[in-house]
C-alpha cells in the first residue's frame, strides 16, 4: 500500500501540469501516423533534462500511456495504425467509422483503454515481484513457440479464405527476412538499395493499411455531392459506457490477454492487440460480425493495448532489463538522473518509483477524459469529402513513413507495399495476416537460431524445444489453435455448400 502514500506528489502543481501536458501531447503524438509510442517518448527525453527525476518520469509515463491510446484515433478515423499495437483496432474501428459510428468507436476505444490500462498498472503495483519471475521464465524456445502460436492466429484472422490468409502471412514472413540477417549479418533479398535496412515495420503498416484505402477512394471517382457523405451519429458518453458494459467478455479477454502478453520481454506490445482480438472472436457467439464494425473487436483490441503498458515495465523496474523498445527509452530517462532501476529504485528512490507508477494510473484516467472529448471533435473527420480525405491520408502517409527514420527509402517501400496490397486485396488477400507475419517472422527466427545454438551446445535440439512444462503447454495451445481453425473451416464449408445447393 506504499503507493497511496506517494499519491500526493502527483498532485503538486508542477507535477500535475506535466501530467496534463504529457497526456495531451501524447494523444497528439500518438495520433500522428509514423510516430510510435517509442519514438514519442524518445522525443520527450530532452525535455526531462531540466526536470527533477520524478517529474521527468511523470512526463514520460503520461506520454507512454496516452500515445498507446492515441494511436487508436488515426487507426479508427484514417485506417492508419500508428503502431503495431493498433492494427487490430483498424479492423472493426475503421469499419465503424465508415458507417458513421466514428464517435462511438473512439469512445469505446478510450473507455476500454482506460479499463485495461488501470488493470495493467494495478498489476504492476501489487504483483511486481511475482510477475518478474514470470517474465524471466520465457527463454528462446518458449518465445519461438509463442511466435508460432501467433502465426496460427493468421488462419482465423482472415475471414474470406483460410488459404489466402495463410499465404498473406507467408508473404509477410518473407518480407520480414529482407535486409541484413540479424545474427549472421548476411544480406538477404536486397534487390534495391532502399531495402538495405530491411522493411521498417511502421512504414510497412502505413503503406499496407492506408494506401489501399486511398486508392479505393480514387477508384470511386468524382462522385456527385452528397452521394457518399455519411451522416455522423452523435453518441453520448453515457451510451458508450453502457455499450462497454454490454460486452464484458471482450473487455475481460482483452484486459487479461494484454496483461499476460505484455509481460513477455521482446514480444508483448506488438501482438497483444491482435491476439486479444483473435481470442475474443473465437469465444464470441457472433463471430461473423467481427470485421464488419463490431464493438467487441474495438473493445478487445484497445483494452489489450493499454493493459500491456503496466506489465511491460515489470522487467525494467525490477530487473533493470528493458522488455520493450519503449521501456528501453524510459531506462534512458531514468539513467540521465542517475537512477538505476532494480532494487535500488524501490529501496532508495521510492518517491521516484511510486510517483512514476501513480502518474501512469492517473494518466489512464486523464487520457480517457481527454480522449472522450477528442472523440466528439474528431469524429467529424468522417464528414470530410472523399477527395479531401484521400489527399490528406496520402500526404500523411508520406510524411509519417519519412519521419520514422528520415529516410526516402521507407517512403518508397511504403508506397510499393501499399500499391501491391491494393491489388492483392481486390483478390481476397488481406493486410492483417501479412502484417502479423511481418512482426512475428523476426521473433520466430531469432529465437529459433539462438535456441538452436544453445541446444547444440547443451542438451540437443529435441529436448530443448520439446520438453519442460512451459514448452509443452505452448505446443498444446498451438495444436489446439490449429485444430480450432480447421474445424471452423470445415464447418463453414459444409454450411456454405448446403446454401449453394439450396440456391
Partner 1 sequence: MSRTQHIIPSGIVFLVGCWVAWISFTQQPVEAFLFPRMISMVFVALAGWTFAKALLGKSKVGLGLSRTMVINLAPGLLVMLVYVFWAAKGLGFYTATAGAFFILLSLYDPASHSDIKTWVKRGIITAVFVAVMYGLFAQLLSVYTPREVLF
Partner 2 sequence: MKKLLLSAALAVTALSGGAALAADYPERPVMMMVSYGAGGATDFQARIVTMTAGNEDALGMPIAIINKPGAGGRVGWNWFATQADADGYTLGAYNVPHFIAQSIKGGVQYSTDSFEPIANWGADPAVFVVKADSEFQSMDDVIAFAKENPGKLTFSGAGLFVGHHIAALQIEKAAGVKMAYIPTKGGGAAAMKSVIAGEVLGGVNNLSDAFRAQEAGNVRILGVADLERSAFLPDVPTMKEQGLDVDNASVNFRGVMVPKGTPQEVIDKLAVTVPEMFKNGRVAKKMKAGGSPMHIMTRDEVIEMWAAREATLKELLAGL
- Which three cell numbers, joined as nine digits, stand for 204? 510497412
**Per-position b or e across 3-29, b if 16+ CB within 10 A of its CB:** beebeebbeeeebbebbebbbbbbbeb
Nearer to partner 2, 325 or 420 (CB): 325
Least distance to partner 1 from the beta carbon of 313, Å?
25
Which of partner 1, partner 2, none binds 395 (CB below 5-8 Å, type-dependent)? Answer: partner 1
Which of partner 2, partner 1, none binds 425 (CB below 5-8 Å, type-dependent)? Answer: partner 1
Helices (H), 78-139: 87-96, 102-136
Least distance to partner 2 from the beta carbon of 375, Å?
30
Q: Tally Cβ neighbours within 10 Å of residue 452.
A: 16
Least distance to partner 1 from the beta carbon of 260, Å?
27
Least distance to partner 2 from the beta carbon of 323, Å?
8
Which of partner 2, partner 1, none binds 173 (CB below 5-8 Å, type-dependent)? Answer: partner 1
Least distance to partner 2 from the beta carbon of 280, Å?
30
DSSP 8-state assignment for residue 98: I
Nearer to partner 2, 332 or 376 (CB): 332
Nearer to partner 1, 306 or 397 (CB): 397
Least distance to partner 2 from the beta carbon of 320, Å?
5
- Which three cell numbers, joined as nine digits, stand for 378? 474528431
If DSSP codes are grouped into helix, strand and coil, which group holds residue 180? strand
Least distance to partner 1 from the beta carbon of 151, Å?
10
Binding site for partner 2 (CB under 8 A): 38-39, 42, 45-46, 49, 136-137, 139-140, 179-187, 193, 196-198, 265-266, 315, 319-322, 325-332, 335-338, 340-344, 405-407, 409, 442, 446, 450, 453-454, 456-458
Least distance to partner 1 from the beta carbon of 186, Å?
4
Nearer to partner 2, 11 or 340 (CB): 340
The CA–CA distances, whole Å, from 17 to 14, 24, 110, 366 equal 5, 11, 21, 12
φ and ψ at 188, to 5 degrees? -130, 125
Q: Tally Cβ neighbours within 10 Å of residue 243.
A: 16
Nearer to partner 1, 8 or 385 (CB): 385
Which of partner 2, partner 1, none binds 129 (CB below 5-8 Å, type-dependent)? Answer: none
Q: What's the per-residue H, E or C state across 144-164?
A: HHHHHHHHHHHHHHCCCCHHH
The CA–CA distances, whole Å, from 42 to 24, 80, 280, 465 equal 16, 21, 33, 37
Which of partner 2, partner 1, none binds 241 (CB below 5-8 Å, type-dependent)? Answer: none
Nearer to partner 1, 62 or 217 (CB): 217
Nearer to partner 1, 10 or 176 (CB): 176
Distance from the Cα of residue 157 to its chain's centroid: 15
- Which three cell numbers, joined as nine digits, stand for 481? 489453435
- Which three cell numbers, joined as nine digits, stand for 472? 509443452
Could you tell me the end-to-end alpha-carbon distance of the chain, in angstroms, rounded to an integer?
65
Distance from the Cα of residue 289 to its chain's centroid: 22
Which of partner 1, partner 2, none binds 58 (CB below 5-8 Å, type-dependent)? Answer: none
DSSP 49-63: TTS-HHHHHHHHHHH
Nearer to partner 2, 360 or 379 (CB): 360
Nearer to partner 2, 46 or 469 (CB): 46
Contact 280, 254 (CB under 8 A): yes
Q: Tally Cβ neighbours within 10 Å of residue 426.
A: 12
Binding site for partner 1 (CB under 8 A): 29, 32, 35, 43, 160-161, 163-164, 166-167, 170-171, 173-174, 177, 181, 183-184, 186, 188-189, 214-215, 217-225, 385-388, 390-392, 394-396, 398-399, 402-403, 406, 408, 411-412, 415, 423-429, 441, 444-445, 448-449
Which of partner 2, partner 1, none binds 319 (CB below 5-8 Å, type-dependent)? Answer: partner 2
Contact 21, 51 (CB under 8 A): no
Contact 95, 84 (CB under 8 A): no
Least distance to partner 1 from the beta carbon of 448, Å?
7
Which of partner 2, partner 1, none binds 342 (CB below 5-8 Å, type-dependent)? Answer: partner 2
Contact 352, 57 (CB under 8 A): yes
Which of partner 1, partner 2, none binds 179 (CB below 5-8 Å, type-dependent)? Answer: partner 2
Nearer to partner 2, 292 or 452 (CB): 452
The CA–CA distances, whole Å, from 338 to 165, 313, 326, 349 equal 49, 18, 19, 11
- Which three cell numbers, joined as nine digits, stand for 441? 517472422
Least distance to partner 2 from the beta carbon of 322, Å?
5
Which of partner 1, partner 2, none binds 230 (CB below 5-8 Å, type-dependent)? Answer: none
- Which three cell numbers, joined as nine digits, stand for 400? 509519417
Least distance to partner 2 from the beta carbon of 324, Å?
9
CB proximity list for 270: less than 8 A, separation 6 or greater:
84, 85, 439
Nearer to partner 2, 25 or 322 (CB): 322
Amino acid at each position: 500500500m506504499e503507493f497511496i502514500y506517494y499519491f500526493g506528489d502527483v498532485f503538486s502543481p508542477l507535477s500535475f501540469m506535466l501530467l496534463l501536458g504529457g497526456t495531451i501531447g501524447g494523444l497528439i503524438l500518438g495520433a500522428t501516423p509514423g510516430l510510435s509510442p517509442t519514438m514519442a517518448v524518445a522525443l520527450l527525453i530532452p525535455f526531462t533534462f531540466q526536470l527533477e527525476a520524478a517529474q521527468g518520469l511523470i512526463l514520460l509515463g503520461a506520454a507512454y500511456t496516452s500515445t498507446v491510446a492515441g494511436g487508436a484515433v488515426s487507426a479508427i478515423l484514417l485506417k492508419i495504425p500508428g503502431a503495431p499495437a493498433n492494427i487490430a483496432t483498424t479492423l472493426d474501428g475503421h469499419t465503424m467509422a465508415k458507417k458513421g459510428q466514428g464517435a462511438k468507436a473512439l469512445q469505446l476505444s478510450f473507455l476500454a483503454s482506460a479499463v485495461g490500462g488501470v488493470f495493467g498498472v494495478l498489476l504492476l503495483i501489487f504483483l511486481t515481484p511475482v510477475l518478474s519471475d514470470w517474465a524471466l521464465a520465457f527463454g528462446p524456445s518458449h518465445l519461438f513457440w509463442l511466435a508460432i502460436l501467433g502465426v496460427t492466429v493468421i488462419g482465423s484472422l482472415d475471414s474470406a479464405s483460410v488459404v489466402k490468409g495463410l499465404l498473406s502471412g507467408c508473404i509477410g514472413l518473407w518480407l520480414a527476412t529482407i535486409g541484413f540477417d540479424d545474427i549472421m549479418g548476411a544480406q538477404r533479398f536486397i534487390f534495391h538499395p532502399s531495402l538495405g535496412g530491411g522493411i521498417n515495420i511502421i512504414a510497412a503498416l502505413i503503406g499496407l493499411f492506408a494506401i489501399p484505402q486511398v486508392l479505393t477512394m480514387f477508384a470511386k471517382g468524382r462522385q456527385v455531392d452528397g452521394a457518399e457523405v455519411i451522416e455522423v451519429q452523435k453518441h453520448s458518453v453515457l451510451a458508450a459506457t453502457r455499450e462497454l458494459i454490454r460486452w464484458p467478455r471482450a473487455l475481460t479477454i482483452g484486459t487479461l490477454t494484454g496483461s499476460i502478453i505484455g509481460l513477455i520481454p521482446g514480444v508483448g506490445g506488438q501482438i497483444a492487440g491482435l491476439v486479444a482480438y483473435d481470442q475474443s472472436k473465437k469465444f464470441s457467439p457472433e463471430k461473423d460480425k467481427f470485421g464488419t464494425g463490431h464493438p467487441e473487436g474495438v473493445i478487445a483490441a484497445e483494452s489489450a493495448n493499454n493493459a500491456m503498458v503496466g506489465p511491460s515495465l515489470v522487467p525494467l523496474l525490477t530487473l533493470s532489463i528493458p522488455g520493450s523498445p519503449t521501456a528501453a527509452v524510459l531506462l534512458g530517462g531514468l539513467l540521465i538522473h542517475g537512477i538505476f532501476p532494480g532494487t535500488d529504485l524501490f529501496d532508495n528512490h521510492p518517491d521516484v518509483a511510486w510517483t512514476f507508477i501513480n502518474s501512469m494510473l492517473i494518466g489512464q484516467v486523464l487520457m480517457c477524459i481527454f480522449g472522450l472529448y477528442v472523440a466528439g471533435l474528431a469524429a467529424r473527420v468522417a464528414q470530410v469529402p472523399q477527395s479531401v480525405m484521400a489527399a490528406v491520408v496520402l500526404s500523411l502517409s508520406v510524411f509519417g513513413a519519412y519521419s520514422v527514420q528520415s529516410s526516402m527509402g521507407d517512403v518508397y517501400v511504403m508506397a510499393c507495399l501499399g500499391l501491391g496490397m491494393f491489388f492483392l486485396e481486390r483478390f481476397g488477400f488481406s493486410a492483417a495476416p501479412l502484417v502479423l507475419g511481418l512482426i512475428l517472422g523476426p521473433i520466430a527466427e531469432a529465437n529459433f537460431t539462438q535456441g538452436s545454438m544453445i541446444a547444440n551446445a547443451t542438451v540437443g535440439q529435441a529436448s530443448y524445444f520439446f520438453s519442460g512444462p512451459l514448452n509443452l503447454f505452448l505446443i498444446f495451445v498451438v495444436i489446439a489453435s490449429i485444430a480450432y481453425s480447421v474445424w471452423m473451416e470445415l464447418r463453414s464449408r459444409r454450411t456454405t455448400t448446403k446454401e449453394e445447393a439450396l440456391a
